[in-house]
Structure 1
Amino acid sequence: MSKQFNKLLHIATIGKSVGLKGDMKLHIKSDFPEQFKKGASFFINEKESLTISDINHERALVRFLGYSSPEDAKKFTNKHLYTTIERTRDECHLEDGEYFWFDIEGCTVVEDGEVLGVVEEIDRISITNYLSVKTDEKLVNKGFAKSFLIPFNKPFRVHTDIDKKVITVSGGMDILEAS
């Protein structure tokens, strides 16, 4: 895959065909369902995209332009829908204190001036987002776990500076020691 395709964000997966008009189940993987609307286009691979011709948010059903039969639609079962980081920034509104996951990934996690590690990804377990942190090599060499999870909420999250790519935490070392 090209570098450009690797920068795309997986935001939904197309499920099975439903009914006689080419409707498909839509499994949204995004916190911004408003981006799924009639006329919106999404990539399915480097060269192909699909445009929504109809969507029913209550039933989580979608139909794509040019595909109006179950036979046409079935070839998209289990395909992923992708969008760009730029489009996400333009179309998805964040409240104060909220961050895009792609901005959090790669941030250094610090507690009391000591680097604990780097955020590899964010995991949502139930209603809580957890930072999946790759432990700093100096701490791994001291016998600590190679990775750990820390809740991305108060009281653990003290400060987030996206521009400097630093997240200051409290209690992170305790979690790492218990890991």
Structure 2
Amino acid sequence: MSKQSNKLLHIATIGKSVGLKGDMKLHINSDFPEQFKKGASFFINEKESLTISDINHERALVKFLGYSSPEDAKKLTNKHLYTTIERTREECHLEDGEFFWFDIEGCSVIEDGKVLGVVQEVDRISITNYLIIKSDEKLVKEGFAKSFLLPFNKPFTINTDIEKKVITVSGGMDILEAS
């Protein structure tokens, strides 16, 4: 297994205890809420995991096996839930033209044959996904910003080739110049 496929992905955070039976608020940080279901297990660190015993999607409440009182549940407040890249690929379905963020990270960003930089991270601001791009060293030496944001949608994104780890863009240089 590659180092990347062993990486744990933060997909939710457990909030405060609610009620008298160990229910907890669940703050989902994923586009795939269907993975949170009764019997599903998630890591809270590299060695420990929690299993969902009950979930109410409408109220964003979850219960975990072995945590049936408010006192027990409070021990989980602010814990992060993680899954693996491999499990995400198996359980989460993408539509045509959609990509997992972890596949986009590390891609070179190219415009008119010129490398603008490498995607460090993807972030969602409001309803738009943005590529956080570390500018190419040659451009930084020319006085351009060390990093910049580029919307990950048309008309900026022309083509995304995950196999080659290349994203072809339009207008990226204009945004870098204005950064």
TM-score by length of 1: 0.97
Shift of 1:133: 0.1
Residue pairs, 1:15-164, within 5 angstroms? 15-164=15-164
- Unaligned segments of structure 1, at least 5 residues: none
Shift of 1:5: 9.9
CA distance in 2, matches of 1:124, 1:4: 22
**Could you say what secondary structure the match of 2:90 adopts?**
helix
The answer (yes or no) to whether the contact 2:5–2:85 under 8 Å persists in 1 is no
**Could you say what secondary structure the match of 2:27 adopts?**
strand
The answer (yes or no) to whether the contact 2:20–2:69 under 8 Å persists in 1 is yes
CA distance in 1, matches of 2:4, 2:143: 38
Deviations 1:50-95 (A, max 9, x none): 0000000000000001110000110000000000000000000000
- Unaligned segments of structure 2, at least 5 residues: none
**Could you say what secondary structure the match of 2:139 adopts?**
helix
- Cα distance, 1:6–1:90 mapped onto 2, change above 3 Å: closer
The answer (yes or no) to whether the contact 2:14–2:77 under 8 Å persists in 1 is yes
- Cα distance, 1:7–1:173 mapped onto 2, change above 3 Å: same
The answer (yes or no) to whether the contact 1:16–1:78 under 8 Å persists in 2 is yes
**Could you say what secondary structure the match of 1:34 adopts?**
helix
- Cα distance, 1:5–1:88 mapped onto 2, change above 3 Å: closer
For this pair of structures, how many residues does the alignment match?
177
Instruction: Tell me what 2:178 maps to.
Output: 178
Root-mean-square deviation (CA, aligned residues, Å) is 1.2
CA distance in 1, matches of 2:167, 2:15: 36
The answer (yes or no) to whether the contact 1:21–1:68 under 8 Å persists in 2 is yes
CA distance in 2, matches of 1:4, 1:177: 33
- Cα distance, 1:140–1:4 mapped onto 2, change above 3 Å: closer
Deviations 1:127-158 (A, max 9, x none): 00000000000000000000000000000000
**Could you say what secondary structure the match of 2:97 adopts?**
coil
Residue identity over aligned pairs, in percent, reads 88
CA distance in 1, matches of 2:145, 2:170: 18
